[in-house]
Amino acid sequence: MKAMNRQKLISVSTVLAVASLVATAIPAHAAHVGVSRSQIKLGMTLPMTGAASLGYNKIPGAAKAYFDYLNANGGVNGRKITLIVKDDRYVPTEAVARTNELILKDKVMALLAPLGTANVKAVASSVNPARRGVPVLFINTGFSGFADIKKYPTTYTILPSYVMEAKIMGEYIKENFAGKKIGLLYQDDDFGIDALAGFKTAGVNFAVTVGYASGSQSAAAAAGWITKFKAAKADVVILFAVSSATSAMLGTAAVLKYAPQWMLGSVGGDATTIKLTGVPAGVLYNAIGFSSVPATTDLNDEYIKLFSDLYAKAVPGSPFDLNVLLGMNSAFMTAQALKAAGANPKRKSLMAAIDSKGATFASSALVPTGYSKTSHVGLTGYWVGKYSPTGDLAPIGGTYVTYTTDSGTGAVVKSTYKRPAMPAKGLPN
Amino acid sequence: MHKSKNSKHIGLFIFFGFLLFLLGNQVDELRVYQGASVAVYVIAISSLILLTGYSGQVSLGHGALMAVGAYSAAVARNELHMPIVLTFFVAVITTAIAGALLGSAAARLSGPYLAGTTLALAIGLPSLANQFEVLGGEQGISFDVGYPPQRLGDDFTQYKWFFWIAALTALISMWLLSNILRSRYGRNWRAGRSNEVAAQLSGINTARSKILAFTLSAGIAGLAGALLSMTIGTVSPSAFPLALSFSLLAGAVLSGVSTLSGVMIGAVTLVAIPEIADVVAHRIGSSENVTTNLPGLIVSVLLILTVLFVPNGPVEQHHARAAKRAVNKKS
């Protein structure tokens, strides 16, 4: 009996050791990595579990909902899209390990929509998709540094940068709140530093700025911030913060009956996520907000109609929110890029397709993208809206007025961009 | 007696190093990368085994000490442009100093109080990086050890370079550590752990002995932190979450917390689990919810099985059984 136990023990240890070292038999450089006659493999890592997964863990389900629809309608040139999703728990070490698995073991053609500045940076540095020629499509971070095409030649951003957002906010303030006292709450790290740079370029003079360290936000901290804004008699208070800080601030302000004109950054202004923190969406009422895509409740919009229908069928009972819309939109743009990459897409031709035709891809967004041979910048602007009592952002005056700009010193302009009609059935043509 | 034992050990480590060298040339890039991760975990877990198994102190904050090592190595590299070998020394020394400070406080605490203090460290310390511009905030700073030397050939990948550095460092530190543990210091630690009063009566300054253990353990954890950040090319607060400290503890329990010789088991398990979970999830065709929670479940089950069946770890258990059999045979 004892001998058997020991034997078992030895065999378990051996299996564990061998499991980590078994070499995969597939050749390292297949002709078209990730593309076979019948399928195209794409990979995604993002937080599926852990504290940071809230909201973001809906993105894979959203992307898969679109790809399933696409596959049911013939895929891309007969090839079905397989999306392999791995959990990185929002930890860079995990993101690197999982991305290595995706590229070296699963042999995906491209990475899709990875999330988080620190994670994308660690993957760029260690896995080095640029050196391997692996496309990193439509990353979910607004850090402006990823637009550096020399440093990240295979990376394509999708969200407008925090600098762009701050510049557009600045322009809106100039047009509508000239002479008013402006206050700013910002996160005291790169997220906030990008924002401060944008406000500086826009020439906004603040009566008061309050920085907070990431993780320090709470109702008690918010009460302290409010004292500062009150003391400075701020008429307009900008919350350029994450959802938890935004909801702490709005929730505490409602209790203290402090009601300046709120202006919310797009990162923290998602009503669904704010509701998840336990604060009623009503606190958002009348705040000014910014978005690149249509309101998720706007069922008159053809994309919202199609995407919300597909999502409801694929993931019944899960609310259709901003994360879902962005996930489906990225999947939709990926499908067009694959289609544009030719009958036999390769990594290189995929990137070349986005460089040459990406700016003309159909998308639910109401602002243009900036893709070209010299730029991998995605969406370039926002429309301005006000929140309804139920926390839905709707355009001021009923029509979408959009602004576009860049992450540098370029001017903020009212955009004349007309979104192209959705291709038939929302499939790439 | 000691000398011959030491040289035997050196021979063993050199032989093991040669094996790793051969293995590194046989397997593909992913396995080489995982090998580097295993080496990093070997160092990190052994620092915890030294602290808990030998000197009887608990730490839930070793992830934070790894962060100290990682940041100091990266700053030494980026700001002072030190050669890579020196940055690892900087990591060890800086973290050892931090460990000495912490150890001074820790020597006065025990049990849950010590656990609480180190837990607070694990939660608080990494986010301190947000306060200093030189540490790069939430997105962190790069830690680039550079490409492998040209003379190793064009096929020599970056990950193989990481593997060489990490594996060599692991071998050297394991050799040093196993020698220290067999020295007077190791015996003092064990004496203090078994019965503090008895140890004091036999002339051991247990407070000093504990601080020394904490200092050494921290230094080794710092080295592991620097190597970990080498494998991901960057250092950021989110790379050292509370979960890392708990993973190390789980690794130490799986390895057998009272002996260094099982450390590979814990390290390999931590690296292999996500992949094993992936395979299992595929086999049973489970839902996404199951797939994402499976790694946590596997670690928990393994921990329970270890505590139930091999509480001192598989290697220690094996030794105990062998010794018992030998005694039985003699009688």
Using one digit for the tens of pLDDT, what is the confidence trace for B188-236? 998 888 888 998 998 888 889 989 999 999 999 999 999 999 999 999 8
Distance CA A270, CA A268 (A): 6
The minimal CB distance from A143 to the residues B130, B139, B234 is found for B139
| Three-state secondary structure call for residue A379 | strand
Mean pLDDT along residues B106-122 = 82
For B229-239, the pLDDT digits (tens) are: 999 999 988 88
Is A87 in CB contact (< 8 Å) with chain B? yes
**ipTM of the modeled complex:** 0.86
For B31-74, the pLDDT digits (tens) are: 999 999 999 999 999 999 999 988 888 889 899 999 999 999 99
Residues of B in contact with A51 (CB under 8 A): none
Q: What is the model's pTM?
A: 0.86
Question: Mean pLDDT in chain A?
Answer: 88
In chain B, the residue whose alpha carbon lies closest to the alpha carbon of A88 is B292
What pLDDT is attached to residue B285?
Answer: 72
C-alpha separations of A363 from A270, A334, A385, A419 in Å: 20, 10, 20, 8
Is the predicted pLDDT of residue B299 greater than 90, yes or no? no
Closest among B110, B105, B115, B75 to B93, alpha carbons compared: B75
Domain count, chain B: 1
| A375 half-sphere exposure, CB direction, 13 A CA radius | 15
DSSP codes, A103-164: IIIS--SEEE--B-HHHHHHHHHHT-HHHHT--EEEEB---GGGG-TTTSTTEEE-SPPHHH
Neighbours of B134 (CB within 10 A): 11
Q: Classify residue B136: in a domain, yes or no.
A: yes
Q: Classify residue B21: in a domain, yes or no.
A: yes
Instruction: Determine whether the interchain pair A2/B321 forms a contact, defined as Cβ–Cβ distance below 8 Å.
Output: yes
Is A223 in CB contact (< 8 Å) with chain B? no
Is the predicted pLDDT of residue A54 greater than 80, yes or no? no
Is B109 or B173 the better-scoring residue by pLDDT? B173
- Counting one residue from chain A and one from chain B, the pairs whose CB atoms sit within 8 A come to 150
Q: Classify residue B275: in a domain, yes or no.
A: no
Q: Classify residue B327: in a domain, yes or no.
A: no
DSSP codes, A249-316: HHHHHHHHT---EEEE-TTT--HHHHHHTT--GGGGTT-EEEESS--TT-TTSHHHHHHHHHHHHHST
Confidence of residue B8 (pLDDT cuts 50, 70, 90): low
Is the predicted pLDDT of residue B117 greater than 70, yes or no? yes
What does the block give as tokens for A15?
Answer: 């299996």
E strand spans, B153-270: 234-235
DSSP codes, B75-128: HHHHTT---HHHHHHHHHHHHHHHHHHHHHHHTT--HHHHHHHHHHHHHHTGGG
Task: Note whether A214 and B127 are within 8 A (CB).
Answer: yes
| Three-state secondary structure call for residue A177 | coil
State the smallest CA–CA distance between residue A83 and chain B in angstroms. 12
Q: Classify residue B321: in a domain, yes or no.
A: no
Closest among B302, B318, B305, B215 to B259, alpha carbons compared: B318
For A135-153, the pLDDT digits (tens) are: 999 999 888 889 899 999 9
State the smallest CA–CA distance between residue A50 and chain B in angstroms. 10
Is the predicted pLDDT of residue A296 greater than 90, yes or no? no
Distance CA A165, CA A406 (A): 9
Q: Classify residue B184: in a domain, yes or no.
A: yes
Distance CA A66, CA A311 (A): 8
Distance CA B149, CA A272 (A): 52
Is A93 in CB contact (< 8 Å) with chain B? yes
| Three-state secondary structure call for residue A40 | strand
Distance CA B311, CA B321 (A): 13
Task: Note whether A188 and A214 are within 8 A (CB).
Answer: yes
For A11-44, the pLDDT digits (tens) are: 444 444 444 444 333 334 445 899 999 999 999 9
The boundaries of the domain holding residue B236 are 2-241
What pLDDT is attached to residue B7?
Answer: 62
What domains are there in chain A, each with its CATH number?
Answer: 39-160+301-379 (3.40.50.2300), 162-291+384-414 (3.40.50.2300)
Instruction: Tell which A residues from 95 to 114 touch B, by Cβ distance under 8 Å.
Output: 96-98, 100-101, 104-105
What pLDDT is attached to residue A331?
Answer: 97
